[in-house]
Amino acid sequence: MKKTLTSLAVAASLMAAPAVAADKLLLKTPIAFSTELPGLGSPIPRVAEQLDLMSGGTLKMKVYEPGKLVPPFEILDAVSTGKINSGYTTAGYWAGKIPAAPLFSAVPFGPEAGEYMAWLYYGNGMSLYQEMYDHAGYNVHVIPCAVIAPETSGWFATEINSPEDLSGLKMRFFGLGGKVMQKLGVATSLLPGGEIFPALEKGAIDATEFSMPAIDARLGFHKLVKFNYFPGWHQQATVFELMINKDVWNETSAQHKAIIENACKASMADSFAEGEAIQHAALIDNVENNGVTIKQWSPEMLDTFRATWDEVAAEEAANDAFFAKVLSDMNEFRDGYALWKTNAFLPRQ
């Protein structure tokens, strides 16, 4: 009887125990943004912690700070070729390789975070996102893994009161918004975060945009340029991606895939909440302690940016069929969403 009860107890414990993946996986993950930047680089260490906890230690992620394993702008190629098995970055960095890539990162006058996630998860966004990399010949599996709310529109040494004031400026600018600024006479460059302050200090650029106030504060732009403009028309939301080599992904167990996908989906909510929680303190500190003047773009300037973006969007769509396909799908989704947004949300004051 004792032996029988013991056997039954063992069998019951095995049946009750959660399934554990037999394989083990270590994701070596270089990142494009320092983990010291809140909402931008800070989400990925939390994802790494959750992967370990949820998998019982069979799935781990080792995070490498920018440039420690692979330079930020080389992450896509390194993951695709298998030099590394994963990377954390943003699709907007691949505009020179894949014209449609910025549409999965940040769109001028585009969707805010909630609408972006709705399109990705419950529209055609995710299937188009993966199709983009497949179509371009990259051997990666992509998963959205963080999102932040609006960024500042830029840091300038002098006030910008008209479109003419932009002409001739040298400015660090990201993504499709950079193409808008180019049409307005700005010489743009896309610099990694760590290179922006030295470029400003040496006069290589006159102005910059990078991210949200709490993130920009870590990079010290307020020490060199004192006019901080809003709203961030070029990036009302920015999506960040975890890329995994597709061969590695295909060989990964169903359990590990589910853990990775759900950890990243949780990170989308967590990163958005973190970003929203800390911006007001940075704005107050900038004004009260750093001598920063917060400026709002005039209606004239916003109309200029929007009209110029419409030109850029039409040109990009005419030049690249897949860009046109994604933009058309996004706009169709947004047209439907606008009915909900107009009726459901309070008007902005």
Q: Do 325 and 195 share a domain, yes or no?
A: yes
The pLDDT of residue 194 is above 60: yes
Q: What is the CA radius of gyration of the chain?
A: 22
Q: Do 74 and 216 share a domain, yes or no?
A: no
Domain end, chosen from 226, 259, 277, is at 277
Question: At 193, which CATH number?
Answer: 3.40.190.10
Eight-class DSSP state of 183 = H
Q: Do 102 and 208 share a domain, yes or no?
A: no
Q: Do 218 and 311 share a domain, yes or no?
A: yes
210 is in an annotated binding site: yes
Q: Do 136 and 56 share a domain, yes or no?
A: yes
Q: Do 165 and 258 share a domain, yes or no?
A: no
- The residue count of the chain comes to 349
The answer to whether residue 197 is domain-embedded is yes
CA distances from 174 to 82, 84, 151, 337 (A): 27, 25, 11, 26
Domain end, chosen from 277, 293, 327, is at 277
Domain that holds residue 52: 25-149+238-277
172 is in an annotated binding site: yes
Query: Which of 27, 87, 3, 85 shows the shortest CA–CA distance to 256?
Result: 27
Separation CA 98–CA 82 (nearest Å): 19
Separation CA 41–CA 35 (nearest Å): 4
Eight-class DSSP state of 153 = -
Q: Do 182 and 216 share a domain, yes or no?
A: yes
Measured between alpha carbons, how far apart are the two ends of the chain, in Å?
77
The pLDDT of residue 16 is above 90: no
Question: At 104, which CATH number?
Answer: 3.40.190.170
Q: Is 170 helix (H, G, I), strand (E, B) or coil?
A: strand
Q: Do 187 and 298 share a domain, yes or no?
A: yes
Whether pTM exceeds 0.75:
yes
The answer to whether residue 244 is domain-embedded is yes
Query: Chain-centre distance of CA 297, in angstroms?
Result: 24
Partner residues linked to 239 by β-bridges: 147
| Structure confidence at residue 349 (pLDDT) | 66
51 φ/ψ angles, rounded to the nearest 5 degrees: -60, -45
Q: Do 120 and 110 share a domain, yes or no?
A: yes
Model pLDDT for residues 217-228, shown as the tens digit of each residue: 999 999 999 999
Q: How confident is the model at residue 14 (pLDDT cuts 50, 70, 90)?
A: very low
**Left, alpha or beta for 228 (phi > 0: left; psi -120 to 50: alpha)?**
beta
Domain end, chosen from 225, 248, 277, is at 277
The answer to whether residue 312 is domain-embedded is yes
Question: Structurally, how many domains does the chain consist of?
Answer: 2
Model pLDDT for residues 230-280, shown as the tens digit of each residue: 999 999 999 999 999 999 999 999 999 999 999 999 999 999 999 999 999
The answer to whether residue 178 is domain-embedded is yes
The pLDDT of residue 139 is above 90: yes
Q: Do 72 and 187 share a domain, yes or no?
A: no
Q: What are the counts of helices (DSSP H) followed by strands (DSSP E) for the chain?
A: 12, 11
- In 1-112, beta strands by DSSP E: 25-30, 59-64, 86-89
The answer to whether residue 347 is domain-embedded is no
The answer to whether residue 12 is domain-embedded is no
pLDDT (average), residues 92-117: 97
151 is in an annotated binding site: yes
The pLDDT of residue 76 is above 70: yes
296-326 exposure pattern, b = at least 16 Cβ within 10 A, e = fewer: ebeeebeebbeebbeebbeebbeeeebbbbb
The answer to whether residue 247 is domain-embedded is yes
Q: Do 110 and 50 share a domain, yes or no?
A: yes
209 is in an annotated binding site: yes
Percentage of the chain modeled with pLDDT above 70: 93
Q: Do 208 and 127 share a domain, yes or no?
A: no
The pLDDT of residue 17 is above 70: no
